[in-house]
Structure 1
Amino acid sequence: MPPVTKNLIIINLIVWLAMFVLPRHLGADLETYAGLHYFKASDFNPAQLLTYMFMHSTGSLAHIFFNMFSLFMFGMTLERTLGSARFLFYYISCGVGAALIQELTWALTWEDTFVRLIAKTSDVDFAEAREFVTNSEFTAEGRAWLARNLNMFVTIGASGAIYGILLAFGMLFPNAPLYLFFIPVPIKAKWMVIGMGVIEILIGLSEAAGRSDGVAHFAHLGGMIFGFFIILYWKKKGTFHGGF
């Protein structure tokens, strides 16, 4: 296994195990400090644009398993194609790009999501809850209350970077046959990537309309978008191997 792919997997596994151990023995919740928060939340810090992508849910093995399995399957090929330095740059860039798109998504949608929650928990109508939230921004105490409660918006996981890797694989090896779990019919990589992108857009739009499944679908798209422009630039430049 190439060194960057191997070490990324190791780091992700170590952090995942630490997320189990530290809260029990040190009382430290890594997600509070290193998970990606909305930039207006009190727990946000810029380092989270990087640290969030090395964390995964401790409530399900599937989150880290499928991300690391995808990194193992496609990362090895990409690292050998791009070179270790470029591959690491690409991986981190897609992860940070995914975080920026997620921040933009929160900026456009947080108010409706938050107001709906306030209306539900306070047993008031939507208009009254919106007025309360809007008025809270006019006082220091209200802004502090809002910043604390905006900590509810948090995301973790390497999925944005992984979607960037899948996008790069589809662009560099468009006709490579891929197989979905339990479906014994090969699908060309380019169609697989396009299909995944369309699905993320549709689910993301549904999420923006208030039917959230708790997954940062626009972050996945962000990883693909940043990856697309990076690969396009490198293709135009005419080289994929070695350094920059």
Structure 2
Amino acid sequence: MPQLPPLTKALILACVGVYFLFELVPGAGWFALWPLQSGNFMPWQPLSYAFLHGGFTHLLFNMLGLWMFGSELERVWGRRRYAQLLIAGALTAALAQLVFSALMHSNAPTVGASGALFALLLSFGMLFPNRIITPLIPPIPMKAKYFVAIFGTLELLLGTRLLDFGPTNVAHFAHLGGMLGAYLLIRYWRTRGPRRLR
């Protein structure tokens, strides 16, 4: 397991701190991502929502993913590019969720770093496609490119209800939006010949 580089460590501490803060003090709703039509949308929410989580398990799995994939990417890219990737993932995930909420006439808020995490996941698969990883679910060693492809396909199938396990509060299109943001940013970087982009 990788050690924590500075920005990844700071983000994990920030998310954990925010989670326990709002467990004690009300007010998290002002920072969740509310649909535009809800009347509760504020301009800071497309970033602030990523620091909130809907429960301890939600927080735990997102922080585990940030540790596993973010640590490696921060070391490869450096703090600046890594931060740019996370912001792009969070923003495109928010945009995708806002569009989906508008189309579905939903007024439910969205929270969590999952969109940014899926941006990291896709980035890891693009930079290290043949790296063998063993995910928690399923605990089967596989190449990173296959892991990313499986998760992306599942998100698409679940989001479009082609694969339906009943009612859920998971923002599947936010996850896909995060992956799209990462893909577009990495493609842009590669056209400009950035350092250490494979």
Q: TM-score, normalised by structure 1?
A: 0.75
Counterpart position of 1:14: 17
> Which residue number corresponds to residue 202 of structure 1?
157
Q: Tell whether 2:187 aligns with 1:232.
A: yes
Distance 1:33 1:79, change over 3 A: same
Q: 1:43 aligns with which of 40, 43, 65?
A: 40
CA shift, 1:42, in A, is 1.7
Q: Where do residues 173-192 of structure 1 align in structure 2 (5 Å cutoff)?
A: 173-181=128-136, 183=138, 185-192=140-147
What CA distance in whole angstroms lies between the structure 2 residues aligned with 1:185 and 1:70? 16
Count of matched residue pairs: 192
Render the CA deviation track for 1:17-42: whole Å, top value 9, x for unaligned.
1111103xxxxx31x20000001212
Secondary structure of the corresponding residue to residue 50 of structure 1: helix
Structure 1 or 2: more helix by fraction: 1
Distance 1:226 1:66 in 2: 21
Q: Return the TM-score normalized by structure 2.
A: 0.91
The alignment's C-alpha RMSD in Å is 1.8
CA shift in 2, pair 1:44/1:68, >3 Å = same
The alignment-based identity, stated in percent, is 39
1:68 to 63, 68, 73: 63
Change (3 A) 1:218 1:184: closer
Query: Is 1:220–2:166 an aligned residue pair?
Result: no
Alignment of 1:3 with 2:6, yes or no, is yes
Q: Find the aligned partners of 1:182 and 1:105 in 2 and give their Cα distance.
A: 27
Q: Residues 44 and 235 of structure 1: is their aligned pair in 2 closer, same or farther, counting only changes over 3 Å?
A: same
Question: Does the 8 A contact of 1:95 with 1:161 survive in 2?
Answer: yes
Q: 1:99 aligns with which of 94, 100, 110?
A: 94
Which ranges in structure 1 are unaligned for 5 or more consecutive residues? 24-28, 114-149
Q: Which has the larger radius of gyration?
A: 1
State the secondary structure of the residue aligned to 1:155: coil
**Deviation above 3 Å: which 4+ runs of structure 1?**
182-185
CA–CA distance in 2 between the matches of 1:158 and 1:177? 24
1:155 aligns with 2:152: no
